[in-house]
Amino acid sequence: MAFTYYLAAFATVGMLFGSSALMSAHAQSKPTIVFVANGASDFWKAAQAGVKKAQSELPDYKLELQYPDQATVASQNALMDNLVSAGVKGIIVSAVDPKNSTGEFDKLAGQTALFTTDSDAPQTKRIAYIGSSNILAGEQAAEIAKKAMPKGGKCMGFVGLLGADNARERIQGFKQGLAGTGITLVDVRGDDIDQARAKSNVSDTLVADPNVTCLVGFYSYNTPQIYAALKEGGELGKITVVGFDGDPVTLGGVKEGSIAGTVVQQPYEWAYQGMKMIAAYLKGDKSSIPANGLDIIQTKIVDSSNVDAYVAEQKAMQ
């Protein structure tokens, strides 16, 4: 009897241990999909919320958002190489410098399901792009400038990564939108996603060219740094400011009238819809992949007429 009891107990423990091991193995075997940002910025907090929302609907997957150590091609590529080596099944990435990443992206595309967001790499073997039309966003920024500066003026632009597609296309769209007006974009200064440098670029401009009457922030953190530099220099409200994205400082400036307006994107939707698209793709469902490889999520202008409504909308999504 005792032998039978201990044998049964041992079998029960073995079954429990085996069940636990299987459960652990199952958890570890969940396919992982990673959203890879182009650098550390508060802008990506909304994307993190989108990843979290998608995770609640995709329990059979492990979803993450990760930043490279630095906003450089080398650092971003090293991160993605490590992810693929760890067995990640899908990556959606905001490319730091698409033109100098073609070989790396094509290699990654042969090892994992590779999608892009925010900054596309259309010349590579990525499956699809999910994000804004940056040219259209640039044109919308031009609409803000034209409304605020009917008599014309000189604008200086500020951006993080001059080589990134999102930067080049926003600048292109802004210039296109200004065609035939008295407003010109005289130059654009990059900062490599260094916010201290972003602020000093603005301060240097104010000293070097007093004829500049408009400052344009092409990345999410550029406009808050423009705001800070103008405030320190006693120029806040004297120079037209055009922004990108919905940083709280930017939205506060729009509300108080020191920022003419901002073009907002939807990184929450990029992450949420992107994760669901990749998960479906990994299951063999390609029906959500656009024929042209572009899933465009619209941008919009936020100015004094709708800033309160936009802020309320964003709070409701959190």
In this structure, is residue 10 part of a structural domain?
no
Q: Do 126 and 58 share a structural domain?
A: yes
In this structure, is residue 15 part of a structural domain?
no
The domain that contains 171 carries what CATH number? 3.40.50.2300
Whether residue 9 is predicted with pLDDT greater than 70 in this model: the reply is: no
pLDDT of residue 19: 37
Whether residue 6 is predicted with pLDDT greater than 80 in this model: the reply is: no
For residue 286, report the phi and psi dihedrals to the nearest 5 degrees: -105, 15
Q: Do 180 and 123 share a structural domain?
A: no
In this structure, is residue 79 part of a structural domain?
yes
In this structure, is residue 2 part of a structural domain?
no
Alpha helices per DSSP H over the chain: 2-28, 45-57, 73-85, 102-109, 134-148, 165-178, 195-208, 222-232, 248-256, 267-282, 307-317
Q: Do 166 and 101 share a structural domain?
A: no
Range of the domain at 250: 134-264
Split into its structural domains, the chain has a count of 2
Q: Do 121 and 51 share a structural domain?
A: yes
Interval 274-292: pLDDT, tens: 999 999 999 999 999 999 9
Q: Do 273 and 160 share a structural domain?
A: no
- Whether this prediction's pTM lies above 0.85 is answered by no
Whether residue 150 is predicted with pLDDT greater than 60 in this model: the reply is: yes
Report how far residue 74's alpha carbon sits from residue 233's, in angstroms, rounded to the nearest whole number: 37
Average pLDDT over residues 172-199: 97
**Structure tokens, 301:** 């202008």
Whether residue 125 is predicted with pLDDT greater than 70 in this model: the reply is: yes
- Residues in contact with 124: Cβ distance below 8 Å, sequence separation at least 6, in sequence order: 98, 101, 102, 105, 106, 109, 114
Q: Do 258 and 171 share a structural domain?
A: yes
- Residues in contact with 162: Cβ distance below 8 Å, sequence separation at least 6, in sequence order: 168, 188, 190
Residue linked to tokens 């966003």: 137
